[in-house]
Amino acid sequence: MHFPVSGVDVFPLIPPLVAFIVSSVTSTAGVSGAFLLLPFQVSVLGFVSPAVSPTNLIYNIVAIPGGLARYIREGRMAWPLTWVVILGTLPGVFAGAWVRIRYLPDPRAFKLFVGLVLLYLGLRLLYETTGRYLQSKSQSKTLENKFKERVRQLKAEERMRLASGLPKEAVVKTRKVSLSKIEYEFWGETFSFSTLAIFVLALAVGLVGGIYGIGGGAIIAPFCVSILGLPVYTVAGAALAGTFLTSIAGVVFYTALAFTPFGMQSAVFPDWALGALFGVGGFLGTYCGAYLQKFLQERLIRGILGIIVTGLALNYVVQYFL
């Protein structure tokens, strides 16, 4: 099948299948999977024009609601964190879209940028699987021990059948929201973070996400888990929600730029058909990932993502210098 906007020729079942596999794994960590699908489009499908960034954002728009609906229904949404992320990321996404068109239209330079972003994410995730890191996170360790104990109880009660990973009482309860601090409770543990710190981070992440075409969840989620010590069970939903809304804004902005004199000089109009096909697979994948997350330990989630991301990053960085 030929996609005239992007110039890609691919069997129509390939994009949704790839998206389903990727998002099933990545959404367990609060990441839609767009950061892995963009390399697939660039390296495998040969989609290298600036339009690949907004096309990747279309994937987010279609894919994320599946997993997001499950997180909301199960009460694992840290809403104050979600809104701060959105407010910070939005202006960054607009600036990132401009930088992508103005300064990174060349595929080779863009690949290097992608490689450096992925390298940071991959190394950060791999570090989070080390014993030294895990020992430094006492709250996360306590929560992980509760998770393990819950699994042991369920295995004993249901033999080999695991009915559910997290209990019904494991929901997010907001305790304090102010301009200086946000605090919430999850499964008997209290977590807090600086509102301003998250806002500034989201602003920077929005800039990177707007250039890359990922919305920002792939960077926000690891930071919240590794630096702030927030449990991935509560961060995942917030990261997906932030990515969803900022992706909508990014696609609208890229589309508007396509009709300006500056945008007409570059191929920036998104390929809606290709993006939607990826999105369909991602929708099913994020829903499955949100369900699977309850059965997976945080260390395993980080390890899988870390290996995949670091491998891709090194490949892109090396390609630039060859």
d(CA 84, CA 201): 10
What amino acid occupies position 207?
L
Which two structure tokens, joined as six digits, stand for 288?
A: 């499955």
Which two structure tokens, joined as six digits, stand for 104?
A: 């990174």
> What is the residue-averaged pLDDT of the chain?
80
The phi, psi pair for 183, rounded to 5°, reads -135, 135
CB atoms within 10 A of CB 76: 23
The string of pLDDT tens digits covering residues 22-31 is: 888 877 766 6
Asked whether residue 103 carries a pLDDT value surpassing 80, the answer given is yes
The string of pLDDT tens digits covering residues 152-196 is: 665 555 444 434 455 555 677 888 888 889 998 877 778 888 999
Which residue did the predictor score with more confidence, 223 or 21? 21
pLDDT of residue 322: 73
The phi, psi pair for 74, rounded to 5°, reads -90, 5
User: Shortest CA distance to 29 belongs to which of 205, 276, 292?
Assistant: 292
Asked whether residue 299 carries a pLDDT value surpassing 80, the answer given is no
Asked whether residue 298 carries a pLDDT value surpassing 90, the answer given is no
Q: In the beta sheet, which residues pair with residue 186? A: 172, 189
Contact status, residue 237 vs residue 78, Cβ threshold 8 Å: yes
pLDDT of residue 20: 93
Instruction: Tell me what percent of the residues of the chain surpass a pLDDT of 90.
Output: 13
Q: How confident is the model at residue 271 (pLDDT cuts 50, 70, 90)?
A: very high
Contact status, residue 227 vs residue 250, Cβ threshold 8 Å: no
Q: What is the DSSP letter of 3?
A: E
138-148: average pLDDT: 59
Contact status, residue 289 vs residue 27, Cβ threshold 8 Å: yes
Asked whether residue 4 carries a pLDDT value surpassing 50, the answer given is yes
Which residue did the predictor score with more confidence, 141 or 257? 257
Asked whether residue 16 carries a pLDDT value surpassing 90, the answer given is yes
User: Shortest CA distance to 310 belongs to which of 126, 109, 128, 130?
Assistant: 126
Q: What count of residues does the chain have?
A: 322
d(CA 220, CA 239): 7
Asked whether residue 98 carries a pLDDT value surpassing 80, the answer given is yes
Strands 2-3 vs 8-9: parallel, antiparallel or unpaired: antiparallel
Transcribe 124-139 into DSSP letters.
HHHHTTSHHHHHT-HH
Q: How confident is the model at residue 142 (pLDDT cuts 50, 70, 90)?
A: low
Q: How confident is the model at residue 39 (pLDDT cuts 50, 70, 90)?
A: confident
Contact status, residue 305 vs residue 312, Cβ threshold 8 Å: no
The string of pLDDT tens digits covering residues 210-226 is: 887 776 766 787 778 76
Domain ranges of the chain: 2-321
> Which of these ranges, 69-78, 114-123, 166-175, has the smallest mean pLDDT?
166-175
